[in-house]
Amino acid sequence: MEPNLVVALLLAVLVGVSLGLLGGGGSILTVPILTYLVGMDPQQAIAASLFVVGVTSAVSVFTHSRAGRVRWKTGLIFGAAGMVGAFAGGTVGGFIPGTILMVLFAAMMIATATAMIRGRKKGAAGRDSEPTALPVARIVLDGFLVGIAAGLVGAGGGFLIVPALTLLGGLPVAVAVGTSLLVIAMQSSAGLAAHLFTVALPWPTILAFTGIAVAGSFVGVALAGRIPETALRRGFGIFVLAVGAFVVVQELPQLIPLVTGA
C-alpha cells in the first residue's frame, strides 16, 4: 500500500471524529485528503466526500438520537430542501473545471473557519426545545442554499447548518449538532446521485476510508459534551483556515491561466 494512501486512511479517523463531535467538518477534511494524498481529481474527491460524509453522518445521527440530541421534524424539513439544492449543485458541479471547484471549496473553508473562530451569537442556543411555530419558509430557503453549496463543492455544510438550526429552529448547540447530521446525510445522498452521472469512483479506496471514518465518528460522539465547545470550535477553525490557505496556494497557479486564457 502506498504511503500516501496509508496516511489518508489514518486521517479518515479525524473526519469521523469531527462529524461525531462537531456535526460538521467532514468534507472540509475529506476533499483535500482525497485530492492531495490519494490523487483523485477534484470532481472525484468531491463526489467521494459526499459518500464518506453521508454514510458517516447517517451512522452518527442514530447514536446522537439515542441520547436525545436529534429533532427529527426540523431536520427532515431542512434536509428535504437541502436534497433539492444538493442535486442541483451536484449536477452543475460535474461540468465545472476542477481547479475552479477547488478554489470555491477553499473559499468556503475560509468563510467557515472565520465564522468558527468568531463564534456564534448568543441567544437561541440556550433553548432546550423547538419553538411552537417553526419558521418553515426560512428553514426551507436556508436548507436549499446550503444544499447547493454541498452538492457543488462536496461540503456537507455542517458548520452552516448548526448555526442555522440554532437560530431558526431554536435548538441548543448539542441538539443542533445531532440534527445537522441528519441533514448532512440527506443532502449528501442527493449530491452524490447527481455527481454519479459524470464521475466514476474508485470504490475500494472510498469504502475503506468510509469504514475508518465511521469508527472515528463513535469516538466523536463519545466526546460530545466533554470538551469545551468554544475552545474546540476555535481550534478547529484555525486548522480549517490553514488548510483553506494551503488549497488556495496549490490551486492558484492553475487558476490564473484558466481565467486569463494564457
Which pLDDT tens digit goes with each residue over 176-232? 888 888 998 888 888 888 888 888 899 999 999 999 999 988 888 787 767 776 777
Residue 135's φ and ψ, nearest 5 degrees, are -75, 75
pLDDT at 123: 47
**Residue count of the chain:** 262
Please state the rounded mean pLDDT for residues 104-132: 63
What's the average model confidence in pLDDT over 129-158? 74
Axis-axis angle for helices 72-93, 136-153 (nearest 10): 40
Q: What pTM was computed for the model?
A: 0.77
CA angle 117, 118, 124 (to 5 degrees): 115
**Could you read off the pLDDT of 243-262 as tens digits, one per residue?**
788 888 888 887 777 667 65
Distance, CA of 57 to CA of 93 (rounded, Å):
22
- Judged by DSSP in three states, 236 sits in helix
Q: What integer is the mean pLDDT of 19-23?
A: 76
Q: What is the identity of the amino acid at 112?
A: T
Degrees, nearest 5: CA angle 165-189-45: 105
Q: Are 179 and 77 in contact (CB under 8 A)?
A: no
Instruction: State CA 73 to chain mean position distance.
Output: 21
Half-sphere exposure of 254 (CA within 13 A, CB side): 13
The helix, strand and coil proportions of the chain, stated in percent and rounded to the nearest 5, come to 80, 0, 20
**Shortest CA distance to 149 belongs to which of 9, 244, 27, 253?**
27
Query: How far, in Å, CA of 181 to CA of 116, rounded?
Result: 18
Counted domains in the chain? 1
- Nearest one of 159, 163, 157, 160 to 121, comparing CA atoms: 163
Over residues 95-104, the mean pLDDT reads: 81
Give the list of residues 6+ apart from residue 66 with CB closer than 8 angstroms, or none.
Answer: none
Extract the C-alpha cell encoding 200: 466514476
Report how far residue 64's alpha carbon sits from residue 162's, in angstroms, rounded to the nearest whole number.
14
Domain span at 149:
3-260
